[in-house]
Chain A
Amino acid sequence: DVKVTQSSRYLVKRTGEKVFLECVQDMDHENMFWYRQDPGLGLRLIYFSYDVKMKEKGDIPEGYSVSREKKERFSLILESASTNQTSMYLCASSPQGIEELFFGEGSRLTVL
């Protein structure tokens, strides 16, 4: 079975802190994605990566950065967390053909 693992299910951080969300997949997938999910807004794409060291902005990249140093790992970084970044963050991976996205369990971030 494909497994996408996110490092933390729940995090509480303070405004201005630097936050790292880690995601690891075990199926040698080329593509990895970070989405955030908010009530009434659905899933919105923050960043995605189609190869090691490659990254592309999604629909809402402001305030975020990403890192993909190894194929299996895709990190989302909030350089200076703000309260409007309180959300559920979902990582996903897919093979090159993108015939299915496999999601992690999500990381619920609260910024106080």
Chain B
Amino acid sequence: GQNIDQPTEMTATEGAIVQINCTYQTSGFNGLFWYQQHAGEAPTFLSYNVLDGLEEKGRFSSFLSRSKGYSYLLLKELQMKDSASYLCAVRLYSTLTFGKGTMLLVSP
């Protein structure tokens, strides 16, 4: 079976840095995605890692270690609008399998 774990909830303060971890144990691996989903809205794409290492995109960075089955999403200079659910997903050939998501609450 496929197992993708991420924390259920996290809280952080505006302006701070937060790291959301994701660990996976899957029967295959073709890449790892991070999506952001605001309440009542569709998920939107944040990042896609295929190779090990850190990918930076503005305030957001994503890291992957395939040997450890581990990824994290790093959010810097947090803003109130970053309050959302963050979804980790592993690509297995033609499909994506999602973790249960991490709800991030940013407070003033």
Contact = CB atoms under 8 A, between A and B. Distances in A.
Interface residues of B, number: 21
A90 B41 CA distance: 10
B91 A103 contact: no
Contacts of B99: 42
B87 interface: yes
> Would you call the interface of chain B mostly helix, strand, loop, or mixed?
strand
Nearest to B93: A98
Contacts of B31: 99
Interface string A68-112: 000000000000000000000010000000111111111000000
A43 B86 CA distance: 12
B94 A48 contact: yes
A25 interface: no
Interface in A27-67: 31, 33, 35, 40-45, 48, 50, 56, 58-59
A76 to B, nearest CB: 16
A48 B42 contact: no
Contacts of B70: none
Given A42-B99, A42-B100, A42-B101, A98 B45 contact: no
Given A43-B87, A90-B42, A99 B48 contact: yes
Interface of B: 30-31, 33, 35, 41-45, 48, 87, 89, 91, 94-101
Given A31-B94, A101-B45, 4 more contacts: A43-B87, A98-B96, A101-B35, A104-B42
Interface of A: 31, 33, 35, 40-45, 48, 50, 56, 58-59, 90, 98-106
27 contacts: A33-B95, A33-B96, A40-B100, A41-B100, A42-B87, A42-B98, A42-B99, A43-B89, A43-B98, A45-B95, A45-B96, A48-B94, A48-B95, A50-B94, A98-B30, A98-B91, A99-B48, A100-B33, A101-B33, A101-B45, A101-B96, A102-B45, A103-B42, A103-B43, A103-B44, A105-B41, A106-B42
